[in-house]
Amino acid sequence: MSKTAILFGIILLILGVGAYLVSGMESVTAMIPAFFGLPILLLGVLGARVEKARMHAMHAAVLIALIGFLGGAMMVVRSLPAIFGEDELERPLAAGVSFLLAVVTLAFIILSVKSFIDARRARKAGEPAGDE
């Protein structure tokens, strides 16, 4: 799971920095995905290097991803009237980045929960726990 956190952290960093560059570096809010990606990446590295901290680091990474998902989803919901043609979409780049933030973080959450469930089942069965 640590490797997954590192991968998703890097994806979010690239998304945030890319959005910031594409937006003409006008607003630091374009980097919001990177603000979620950096701690997820760092927690993934911590989990990979310190076995005793792995479980807590991965749970913290999922919590950060959940906050990112909720924020991204909230912005997508706010954009729905414009998406369905009832309004004009004021900031299409922000809406797109928010959508991608929600999708990426949701994918990470789903993979993480599956990993947590698999690890718990393995512990109950007496098998060695994998990369939680």
Instruction: Please provide the average confidence, as pLDDT, over all residues in the chain.
Output: 89
Q: Is 130 part of a structural domain of the chain? A: no
**Integer angstrom CA distances of residue 80 from 31, 69, 106, 109:** 22, 16, 19, 23
Mean pLDDT of 20-39: 92
> How far apart (Å, rounded) are the C-alpha atoms in residues 116 and 46?
17
Burial per residue of 1-30, b for 16 or more beta-carbon CB atoms within 10 angstroms, e otherwise? bbebbbebbebbbebbebbbeebeeeeeeb
Structural domain contains residue 131: no
In a domain, 84, yes or no: yes
Give residue 10's domain range: 2-124
Residue 66, in any domain of the structure: yes
Domain membership of residue 42 (yes or no) is: yes
pLDDT at 7: 96
pLDDT of residue 72: 94
Number of domains in the chain: 1
pLDDT tens, 40-83? Answer: 999 999 999 999 999 999 999 999 999 999 999 998 888 877 76
| Amino acid 43: pLDDT | 97
Q: Establish if 129 belongs to a structural domain.
A: no
Is 9 among the domain residues?
A: yes
Q: Is the pLDDT of residue 129 over 60?
A: no
Predicted confidence band of residue 38 (pLDDT cuts 50, 70, 90): very high
The yes-or-no verdict on residue 127 having pLDDT over 70 is: no
132 within some domain: no
pLDDT tier for residue 113 given thresholds of 50, 70 and 90: very high
State the average pLDDT over residues 2-28.
Answer: 93
Question: What's residue 25's pLDDT?
Answer: 84
